[in-house]
Chains A and B, each alone.
Chain A
């Protein structure tokens, strides 16, 4: 029962998605499936009647039956025609429907992405749901799924038609044929479960195969393959995975063939008994010749149809589950969001405060941040320092509201940030992330996308400030050059350091009250780095700023240095205070400084 209700729920959801994607195409698809699957008994019926007429007219003359003869010929013609136009109609409907469904699911995913909280993806199962929902936007499966369902309904219709005519010809033979199919139906259902289990397992191997193959094609990995000479190992691994996959696949196929042949034999034997009885009875004149022709045309197909019932039904159940990932993805997000009366964001930002903030990532045992408290007042700028994994980036994520603190609160102007309206909240920030995006747009779009109001003059100012001028001059179409060759042949791929400057320019262009830079200098050379810090100082002159960096020289002029270790804020103060304090910061600073110090006397004075 549970299976059945799940079945109907799945089908309902799927039909809804179809219907929303396109009403006319959905109707067309149903029509196609009907003419494909439900019309053959009708055609056989027409032939049966024509044959009867031929036999009768050989006794009584044709003229009495002329009218009904032509009626059945027309019926025959219609069936024939519909069967024939199925192909062009079907290819039309499927192509368009596929595009529509893919578009619809993409729109739905986009809608979810707009609402979802970043922490959602930290749960492995959520991430899997998301990934699977995403994978499904690009495959042909939805069409097959839909065809499975509509095909099943047509199968039932054609079955009922064929069955009712057969019963009128011979009840015992019909029953015999039906009963003989039952073991096959049961087995077919069981076997399908095996197939799905195999598919699930095999998907992983298939993906691994694709991954291994892609290593040879990918730019970064093919470089390592050549340097480390790992090609033999990788191709052997590829081959053995492939062999393993093939072995399992053939084992499955073999078992299917063996059992299939066995059932085929049972079905054939009963069918032949049926043939024998019907032909003898026709010979004896108990059954009309037309009925014989119907029987010959339909009996075998009917038997197969019953046999396939099990697998079709299973297909349909599996199909019903197809959109589960998308639905689950939507549902989880719906649970995640709640409506509150939000406050408007402030025009100016006076303070940022972390009050006893502790945080641990979902499923993680350790706390990433432990009881962190600090306050920044405008126009202070702070630098966050600490080892890898000390929690620097997490502080930034909490401030941006991507994550909520496990305990404690993040406040702006004394108000908990969760009270601000989420859609507007990000207007407060100009951010340059550590893993900034490289957009496949023109250089100018890459910069001004953060603020469409920027005019030509302002753009030029930013270009000068962020050192983009040299880059632009080398580009074929200057600032209008596309920064990707993915769909623009004249596009140019920039180096890491160059992209880095563009990401900084993008953040600069937004001109928001709070500036956040996360290791903006990782890929910059010394000169560009110096320019960047000058820019940062200038940007944060009358604003609040937080920068994460490993280069402690940056911290020297900063108003506030926050030193993190293992999630705890261990030191806080300006450069001179912290050096006098002679703690962690001083140790780190000296570690970097000693290289420069040791040369100071010898070379520079």
Chain B
């Protein structure tokens, strides 16, 4: 009940007028059905009286007009109702999507690391497209009007026979009860089978995706997956079948029960008419009303069932839109002072961070100060917390302990809209949109500035030929079969171009050269980093040769800074950095020592 109340409240918030109209039309369209039986009774009474004597044409015209009016009202009402429903559906889904998007935008990025949260959000997304929210409202109105109509019909029937009313109503009780519990059970069954279905889906994706194709061949795993897939499907199907068969069987029993009850009442009416106890018109009315009650009850039963099922399927969307427990950034006291983003200075004090649901700290009381205009490199082994640190600097993660200050202001007091950084992430995005959008997302205000966009592209060394010199070409073939498909290296350059779009503030580059070749990597580091000279920048890389010229190198180990200084200082120290560096240098230096490459070294 709570969900139904919330849904209706939410819908009325979205568009009260539309909801009122929708309710009105739904109720009216259902209230029309009994009238039909009354017209039928009228005509049969008239015909039976004057059968064979001929009818006055005026009288016939009068009846025909009645029919026409009735049909017209039914037609018009249903049409108007349909339009209203379609319109309302569009409005509601548009508004829900808008609300959801703006809500998601305010959620702290940390929560995306929680697997549960991700599932939650995708469920919300599914529920919006499911359209059940409006369904609940329409069905509730339908249920109420159906009950009202049934009451009126029962009254008509009551005049003919009291026990007929009783029988008509009684014989539908079991069906009603069955349907009421079925809605919930069906929902429960489907929910409990989601993990199994996901697993089946996963095996099918291994069998059918192009990504898995090559390894399936190499490792000959297809037969294993096939067996797993059909085993799991068999298991699922067996349960699906037994669950549905039971319900179907019950449903059929209820149907027989219901039909026997209703048909006995109808038979009674016909029998009375045949005996001459009631007029044909009365019998026709009686039968018509009986059938209407029957249809109405059936309608009510299924409406009730679908409300019962639907109210479970809006749980998440309602929760999402109404809860205040989403770690949103509090919009309270804001620093209204405009922070100068030309120079960025960052100070991290005693930062401790762990991922949601994980006990181990990724960062352990880390202190770091990045001066304005400084080029800082963060190095360390896999899993030492480099990327996490970068995300904290960017304000994406919110540490459990410690403070982050930007130009002296605590990040918590800085407005969400204030932008001080640009970045190229390790898991960068390649959007299935135009090249223009892909690049301009780095600085969206300049989306119409072709020169600026091309300039950023050139900085990233992405060849203009890769998109035929047309920045409005679509990337990927998802939405345009003429779209350009970029290679891994080209996509990485595209994401670099995005980062270069923003001309001031902090620049964070997280493994920007992982899939670049030697030449491009060199160009990016040697040339391009010079272009952003004077800007505060943070570089994360495994390729230590690239960071030699950075102003300061920070070596991260188990979430702490264990060494820092310039390249030369760290090499003198002969600590962890020097060790890592010499491992990489080993081959090159060995070669230099044994004389083979001496000619070339001299050339450098």
Contacts and interface: CB of A to CB of B under 8 A. Distances in A.
Contact of B382 (A213, A225, A495): A495
A556 B214 contact: no
25 contacts: A85-B256, A87-B251, A88-B252, A92-B251, A96-B237, A110-B229, A128-B481, A134-B208, A213-B101, A221-B429, A224-B429, A272-B67, A283-B54, A284-B55, A300-B71, A427-B220, A437-B215, A495-B383, A522-B514, A527-B583, A550-B516, A556-B587, A595-B546, A602-B571, A604-B582
Given A279-B47, A497-B382, A426 B90 contact: no
B388 to A, nearest CB: 10
A127 B101 contact: no
A586 B43 contact: no
Interface string A557-592: 100000000000000000110011010001011111
B584 A597 contact: no
A485 to B, nearest CB: 4
Nearest to A229: B419
Contact of B429 (A220, A489, A603): A220
Interface string B28-40: 0000000000001
B599 interface: yes
Given A95-B244, A238-B101, A276-B60, A289 B273 contact: no
B51 A91 contact: no
B217 A113 contact: no
In the A-B complex, the 5 residue pairs with the closest CB atoms: A88-B251, A283-B55, A497-B382, A595-B545, A553-B587
Interface in A480-533: 485-487, 489, 493, 495-498, 506, 510, 519, 522-530
Given A124-B477, A282-B51, A284-B52, A522 B515 contact: yes
B109 A550 contact: no
A169 interface: no
Interface in B576-604: 578, 580-592, 596-597, 599-601, 603-604
B484 interface: no
A57 interface: yes
B444 interface: yes
Interface string A436-460: 1101100000000111000000000
Given A54-B274, A228-B441, A279-B64, A292 B47 contact: yes
Nearest to A437: B215
Interface stretch (A176-184, A203-211, A411-419): A203-211
Interface in B191-242: 195, 198-199, 202, 204, 206-208, 210-215, 217-222, 224, 226, 229-230, 233, 236-237, 240-241
B444 A225 contact: no
A528 to B, nearest CB: 6
B93 to A, nearest CB: 9
B31 to A, nearest CB: 20
Interface in A20-58: 47, 50-51, 53-55, 57-58
A261 B212 contact: no
A537 to B, nearest CB: 12
Interface in A284-301: 284-285, 289, 292-293, 296, 300
Interface in B21-64: 40, 43-44, 46-48, 50-55, 57, 60-61, 63-64
Interface stretch (A149-157, A313-321, A386-394, A539-547): A386-394
A223 interface: yes
Main secondary structure of the interface of A (DSSP, over half): helix
Interface stretch (B6-14, B342-350, B486-494, B528-536): B486-494
A431 B125 CA distance: 39
B182 to A, nearest CB: 9
A226 B336 CA distance: 20
Interface in A403-437: 426-427, 429-431, 433-437
Query: Which of B68, B259, B601 has the most chain A CB within a 10 Å cutoff?
Result: B259
Contacts of A523: 382, 511, 514
Interface stretch (A76-84, A186-194, A337-345): A76-84
A175 interface: no
A196 interface: no
Contact of B585 (A65, A230, A582, A600): A600
A58 B276 CA distance: 6
B280 A55 contact: yes
A246 B94 contact: yes
Most A CB contacts (10 A, CB to CB) among B222, B224, B581 go to B581
Contacts of A109: 207-208
Nearest to B103: A216
A579 B597 contact: yes
B368 interface: no
Given A224-B425, A388-B520, A599-B548, A449 B83 contact: no
Given A207-B479, A602-B571, A110 B220 contact: no
Contacts of A436: 215
A574 to B, nearest CB: 10
B51 A285 contact: yes
Interface residues of A, number: 165
A400 interface: yes
B488 A268 contact: no
B97 A593 contact: no
Contacts of A233: 441, 444, 447
B426 A226 contact: no
A227 B222 CA distance: 42
A98 to B, nearest CB: 10
A228 B443 contact: yes
Contacts of B270: 50, 54, 69, 73
A72 to B, nearest CB: 9
A226 B112 CA distance: 12
A215 B381 CA distance: 31
Interface in B118-167: 118, 121-122, 125, 129
Given A224-B441, A487-B202, A550-B518, A214 B125 contact: yes
Contacts of B546: 595
Contacts of A73: 263, 267, 270
Given A217-B121, A233-B447, A485-B115, A272 B68 contact: yes
Contacts of B581: 526, 596, 599
A350 interface: no
Contacts of A289: 44, 47-48, 51, 280
A101 to B, nearest CB: 12
Nearest to A264: B75
Contacts of B274: 53-54, 57-58, 62, 65, 69
B283 interface: yes
A80 B171 CA distance: 15
A1 interface: no
Contacts of A594: 604
A604 B572 CA distance: 9
B20 interface: no
Nearest to B273: A54
A37 to B, nearest CB: 17
Contacts of B391: 223
Contacts of B326: none
Contacts of B302: 87
Given A84-B259, A526-B583, A591 B519 contact: yes
A167 B54 CA distance: 22
B233 A530 contact: no
B102 interface: yes
Contacts of B478: 207, 211
A369 to B, nearest CB: 15
A121 interface: yes
A308 interface: no
Contacts of B590: 556
Given A121-B210, A586-B597, A591-B522, 20 more contacts: A58-B280, A84-B259, A113-B207, A124-B481, A219-B118, A220-B427, A239-B94, A261-B75, A272-B68, A283-B55, A300-B71, A388-B517, A436-B215, A450-B218, A485-B115, A528-B382, A579-B596, A579-B599, A590-B597, A600-B592
A325 interface: no
